[in-house]
Amino acid sequence: MKLKIGTRKSTLALWQAELVSDKLNAIGVETELVEIESFGDKEQDIPIHKLGDKGVFTKALDDVLIQEEVDLAVHSLKDVPTVLLGDLELAAVLERGNPKDVLVKPKEEKGEIHRVIATGSIRRTAFWKNRFPRDEVVGLRGNVPTRIQKVDNNDWFGAVFAYAGLERIGYENRISQVLDWMIPAPSQGAIGVVSRKDTKHQEIFDKLNHSDTRTCVDIERAFLNELEAGCSSPVGAHAYIKNGILYFVGAVLALDGSRRMDIEREIPVTEATPAKGHEWANLLKKDGAVELLTHRANDD
């Protein structure tokens, strides 16, 4: 038996697919990588949120899964919509890497009289403007090496990246600052495996699943889903487990960072189900979170 693994072609995507491949090989399962170019990878000159929010980086892989050209697809889980196509499901989540956002500064740092920050993320833009309203934020697209190169070639203060992505492909030394105050995207740092619901290989995929990570990301994704917000929305959510307690922080922001709503909770891990993510998002909805998100959509 040989399982075909669908993956995007970027350096980071291939690293993550290779990790899944290695784990499957270690339990005696042969694998083959099948590289697919996603719509989001083809359209490099358009801001991500302008491309739509329905699987910009995942739909091409969904299609080959449904057509049974591959047996599983590997994704950065934060890119995976909270509602999958009817024939597909989230089969496994690997142990999470560092979920934090980080600042990468140019090799030759520029002055700070007028600071320019680069990011292609609406969430990161909103958090940054909330904390530093006078800074200018500009768009940034491309794979990790391309974005790093743009940081070094432009007159910017820096750019925001995911810690896990930099660490995985050898750019950890470029991290200038860990942005502990920025709540990560739901599922950031986690690698997801998507398969068909009728797969015959679920017992194999179960061996890839990391229980604590799955518990946390299921709650984060439920929080995002309840807000009816997509991967490109100004929503942060992060859960982690320590000593039998699940700790959760979530936030919804206006696009320009001018307004923000937060929630923090801690519960016994025995009570940690996706329903909690829905419950906590509903609390913010009652206080007007949907209006913040709607305001964002109208501004676009």
Catalytic residues, by residue number, are 78-79, 123-124, 141, 147, 231
**DSSP secondary structure of the chain:** -EEEEEE-SSHHHHHHHHHHHHHHHHTT-EEEEEE---HHHH--SS-GGGG-SS-TTTHHHHHHHHTTS-SEEEEEGGGS-SS--TTEEEEEEPPP----EEEE--SS---SSS-EEE-S-HHHHHHHHHH-TTSEEE---S-HHHHHHHHHHS--SEEEEEHHHHHHTT-GGG--EE-TTSPPPTTTT-EEEEEETT-S-HHHHHTT--HHHHHHHHHHHHHHHHTT--TTSSEEEEEEEETTEEEEEEEEE-TTSS-EEEEEEEEEGGG--HHHHHHHHHHHHHTTHHHHHHHHHHH-
Find, among 232, 239, 290, 238, the residue nearest to 261 by Cα: 290
Q: Distance (Å, rounded) from C-alpha 237 to C-alpha 241?
A: 14
Task: For residue 139, give the nearest of 147, 129, 130 by alpha carbon.
Answer: 147
